Structure 1
Amino acid sequence: MTSVSRTLGRCLRETGQALHRFGHQCQDSTLILETFSRHRQLMPLAASAPAVAKDAWVAPSATLVGEVDVSGEASVWYGAVVRGDTGAVAIGKGSNVQDDAILGSGDVSVGAGVTIGHGAIIKSSTVADGSMVGMKAIVESATVEQGSIVAAGAVVMPGTVVGAGQVWGGNPAVYMRDVTPAEKAQLTKSAEGYVALAGSHATSIAA
Structure 2
Amino acid sequence: MNPVPALAATGIGKRYGRRVVLERAELTARPGEVTAVVGENGSGKTTLLRICAGVLRPDTGHVTRLGRTGYCPQEPALLERLTARDHLVLFGRAAGWDRARSLADGTRVLRAFGFDGQDRTPVRHLSGGGRQKLNLALSLLGDPDILLLDEPYQGFDHGAYVDFWDCVAAWRDQRKTVVVVTHLLAELWRADQVIEVPACSAR
Q: What is the TM-score when the length of structure 1 is the normalising length? A: 0.26
Structure of greater relative contact order (alpha carbons < 8 Å, 6+ residues apart) = 2
- Structure in which a larger fraction of residues adopt strand: 1
Q: What is the TM-score when the length of structure 2 is the normalising length? A: 0.26
| Higher alpha-carbon Rg | 1
- Structure in which a larger fraction of residues adopt helix: 2
